[in-house]
Each structure stands twice: as structure tokens, then as C-alpha cells.
Structure 1
Amino acid sequence: MLETPLMRHVERSGFYRPSSLIHLFIGGSELHGAKVGATDDLDLYGVYVAEPEDVLGLDPLAHFVWSTASDDRRNGPDDVDLTLYSLHKWAAMAAKGNATALHFLFADATAVSLPVWGGVQDQAQAFLSKASATQFLGFAGNQLRRLTGETGPGKKGTRPEYECAYGYDTKAAMHCLRLYFECIELMEAGRISLPRPEMELLVEVRTGAWTMERFLAEAESLRLRAEASALASSLPDAVDRPAISRLLAEVHLAFWRGEDRSATLCL
């Protein structure tokens, strides 16, 4: 079982089997290196190996979501969001190139994991392909359209604290640029560095040091670079689905046999 102070939030959430977790990390702005003071909530993400009856039975438990905040308000700095995925669900998302899911493979800076998760990370290349660029570009484009008003503000509304202070949603702007940077690195180097090497730039954008015009120009430049990087990438066109399937089977069987179930890290 994972031994870390972060587990108190998992236990508080009522998650049915904390001992099934193999990977838990702090995500959000802290992972990216763009946290500013005590302004952000605590975003926790993790992967668990479901029990045989939950994988092979009639009602598989694919994910678990919990928050201290209600659906009708934005999170504050004292709130905690917890998002856990079964190994199978996470792998399916990562295989599609989901940006958030791929972060799981590179989140060592804020993570505590069992050795069995290291076996997953050793096979990280199986989850990487040119196709993931579409996911990153789409996610970044959504952030861009949100802050320019082309689409709605999202299920929890706008960020008036940023809009009132800086004239536009600088946090959405920061995430937009971050996603383009991540896409470029992934296409060119086959990895995502976390926290981001551009963290100082991201904090500048988030704290309003950039005008919206400067941000929009940079976003367009990075979009073009990301698209060009995807076209020139040496990554395969598609993920290695048979290799991923074999990996999932091996990890499930190893965990069910009781292998690699202990690890300690203080975060």
C-alpha cells in the first residue's frame, strides 16, 4: 500500500479500496510548475488495479471522482479534487493520446508509486504516437476559444478573479501555452518534462505580465510549431495496442499475486 500523507485524502473520499492504488500524484499547476502562492486547490490523480471481480465481473469500476467543492461553485485554495482511474481505463485514455492521461507517465516530481508502476513507465513508448498531437492541439484550442469567448465558460463558469485583474482569463491562457509546449516536446523528444522548463514564462502569463495581444500572438506561433513538429515527428503513427494489452495483463496478474505492494515516499 502507498504510504504518503496524500493518502489521507483518498481515505477521506471513501474510495472503496485504497490498497489498490499503484500511482498517486499531485497534478494541476503544482505539477506544471505554475502554481502561484496559495491560490490553487489540491488536484490529486491516481491509478488503481481493480480486483478481479471488478475487472472481470458485470459492473467494472472504471473511475472514481471526489471533491470537497460542490458542482455549483469554483474550487478555492482549501479544496481537494481527487480523480482515480482503473489501470484499464487510464491505459485506454493514454492510448488515445489524452493529454492528462499521458502526464501520469511523467509525473515523478510529485508522485508516490509502487514498483509495479515503474514497469508501466518502462513501457511508456508504447503509449506515444503522432496521433496524440491531435488531442493536445484540441485541448489547447478549447482553452483559447474559452478565453476569447468563442465558446462557453465551462461547467463551473469563468474565472472573474483573473478577468477583473488582467482583462482576460490568464490561467486559461497559461494552460493553452503549456499544452502547445508539451505537444512540441512530445513530438520532438518523445517525453513531457514536468514541471515545465517554461515555468517562469507560464507564471508570467498567469500573473498578467502579458497583454492578451501578446498571448494570442505567442499561441498562434506555438500552434504552428506544434503542427509542424507532429508532421516531422519520429513517433509512430499509432500506439502499439498489442504491447499495451500485454502490459495490462502482466500488471494485473502481478498485483493480484501480491507482488510489489509496498512503497514509501513522503510528499
Structure 2
Amino acid sequence: MKHDTPEFAAIAAQGTILRCQVGSGLHGTAVDGQDDRDEMGLCVEPAEYVSGLKRFEQYVFRTQPEGVRSGPGDLDLIVYSLRKWMRLALSGNPTVLLPLFVPANEIVAITELGHDLRANSGRIVSRQAGLRFAGYLRTQRARMLEGSLKVNRPELIAKYGFDTKYAMHMVRLGVQGVELLETGRMTLPIPEPWLSWLRDLRRGKHTQDEAIAAAAELEDRLDRLTRGASPLPEEPDRDWVNRWLVHAYAAA
């Protein structure tokens, strides 16, 4: 199914309850004006796309054509149906959780429903997120160790000997996962001293071995937190979430 049709664009625009930045600019890890802008939105789709045969799960817009790498000034936007976003959020998907924690100055659009959703992040986030963060981190670290990365940044490999942006995102994921499991929140942009360390890694001022070692240590901390050291509940409050979704769609 195509996700960039005019029909889906209209649904996303009319039903959006929250839209914000989610990329390197949000994390604070963008360097030297090299990055595009990534945004994520959540929308309530019309009734016929919920109870009828039609389906809307997401709308995707990219400044560049599909298959062309985005660059400085480009926009990559994805707008999820609220139900799909919630399913991903309950499972602890790291990127999908970001709209719950972005600072106000990174919010492009928000409604009363969007404010209410952000105010109830504690009912959505659980130790399930630790499993997802650790799983992604483990996979990324293994790929870097095995040299099996499928990347499109040959210029970084030529300059530094490894994909420093990939390595930076790997470690960033661990840093944010640990903070989320320890506090129930993600600070955005990433606070010091990690922010400078990550930016230095992206600029090639840390080695690949240092990045892998940092990721391994963070992965170990995530595993301990997920097994019970975290103050977060083991599972999200699915009963509350179900009631809230029914209310949100009825209100819309």
C-alpha cells in the first residue's frame, strides 16, 4: 500500500493531534549542518477508516524521491494513525516514544488530545521499553563487530575507517534507554556529558572500539534495569490506554 497519496496527506493534515521533530536536531547530535529534518505526527483517522473496509496506518512525506538520500534542508515526515502509534509505543519502540518527551519548542502542532497524551506518558511507558532498547542496541553492536553494516555513508568510512554516525546513534540509543528505565523520562536534547561525547564520536574523535565498549556497558545496564532494577512498571496500563483511545476516537 502506498503511504504518500493525496488522500492520506489530507487525513494526516486534518486529524493530527501532535507533530514534532524526532531526528538528530532533537537529540542535539546534529553537526556542521549535515542533517535533514525528521518529524513524526500522530493523527486520528476518519471513522470509515476505523470501522469500514478502508485502512489508514501512516502517511509518509519525503522532500527527496524514494531511494534518494536526504540531505541538509530536506524533510522526512511520518504521520501514524493514533492506534498504530499506540501499539508501537506500548511495545517500547524507542523512536515512537519520543513525542511523549519532546520539549515544547520542538512541537510543530498539538491539540488538547495531544497534550493529554503527553501528560499520561507514565501509563504508556514500562519496562517493555527496556527490552526494545536493549534488542536494538544488541543488534547494532553485533553488526558493527561483524562488519555487516548496510550503510550509505561511504564518505565517513573513507574518512574515519567506520561509520561514525551509525556508531553515534548506537550509543545514543543506549544512553536514552538507560535514562528512560531509570527515570521514566527522556531528556531532549541529550544532557551532558554524553552529548559532547556523542558529538565527538560522530566527528571521529573516538574510536570504533570505544563506541562498541560504551554500547556494551549501556546494554548491560539496560538488561539489569529491565530485569527489575527499574522503577517502571513491568507492563503498560493497557486498560487505561484502551479507554483513552475509545474516548479519543469518539471525541474526534
TM-score scaled by length of structure 2 = 0.89
Q: Structure 1: state its 5+ residue gaps.
A: 1-9, 257-267
Instruction: Give 1:110's aligned residue.
Output: 106
**Distance in 2 between the 1:241 and 1:150 partners?**
40
Instruction: Give 1:143's aligned residue.
Output: 140
Identity of aligned residues (%): 33
Instruction: Give 1:224's aligned residue.
Output: 220
Counterparts of 1:169-208 in structure 2, within 5 Å, are 169-197=163-191, 198-208=194-204
The answer on whether the counterparts of 1:34 and 1:202 sit within 8 Å (CA) in structure 2 is yes
**How much does 1:14 deviate?**
7.0
**Distance in 2 between the 1:113 and 1:37 partners?**
30
**Distance in 2 between the 1:171 and 1:13 partners?**
35
Give the secondary-structure state (helix, strand or coil) at the position aligned to 2:39: strand
User: For each residue in 1:201-236, what CA deviation from the matched residue of structure 2 results, as whole angstroms up to 9, or x when unmatched?
Assistant: 211111111011211221111111221222211211
Instruction: Give 1:129's aligned residue.
Output: 126
Relative distance call for 1:149 and 1:41 in structure 2 (3 A) is farther
**Distance in 2 between the 1:43 and 1:13 partners?**
22
Counterparts of 1:11-160 in structure 2, within 5 Å, are 15-17=9-11, 18-108=13-103, 109-111=105-107, 112-153=109-150, 157-160=151-154
- Structure 1 counterpart of 2:235, from 230, 238, 244: 238
**Greater relative contact order: 1 or 2 (C-alpha under 8 angstroms, separation 6 or more)?**
1
The answer on whether the counterparts of 2:8 and 2:56 sit within 8 Å (CA) in structure 1 is no
The answer on whether the counterparts of 1:67 and 1:80 sit within 8 Å (CA) in structure 2 is yes
Give the secondary-structure state (helix, strand or coil) at the position aligned to 1:100: coil
User: For each residue in 1:223-264, what CA deviation from the matched residue of structure 2 results, as whole angstroms up to 9, or x when unmatched?
Assistant: 11221222211211111111111111122222x2xxxxxxxx
Relative distance call for 1:211 and 1:13 in structure 2 (3 A) is farther
**How much does 1:60 deviate?**
1.9
**How much does 1:150 deviate?**
4.6
Give the secondary-structure state (helix, strand or coil) at the position aligned to 2:9: coil
User: For each residue in 1:94-133, what CA deviation from the matched residue of structure 2 results, as whole angstroms up to 9, or x when unmatched?
Assistant: 0111111111211134113112211111211111111211
Give the secondary-structure state (helix, strand or coil) at the position aligned to 1:158: coil
**Distance in 2 between the 1:146 and 1:169 partners?**
12
**Distance in 2 between the 1:84 and 1:219 partners?**
30
For 1:49, the aligned partner's letter is V
**Distance in 2 between the 1:43 and 1:163 partners?**
23
For 2:126, the aligned partner's letter is S
Give the secondary-structure state (helix, strand or coil) at the position aligned to 1:15: helix
Instruction: Give 1:168's aligned residue.
Output: 162
**Distance in 1 between the 2:138 and 2:78 partners?**
23
Relative distance call for 1:146 and 1:158 in structure 2 (3 A) is farther
Give the secondary-structure state (helix, strand or coil) at the position aligned to 2:10: coil
The answer on whether the counterparts of 1:22 and 1:49 sit within 8 Å (CA) in structure 2 is yes
Show structure 1 runs of 4+ deviating over 4 A: none
The answer on whether the counterparts of 2:164 and 2:202 sit within 8 Å (CA) in structure 1 is yes
Aligned length: 243
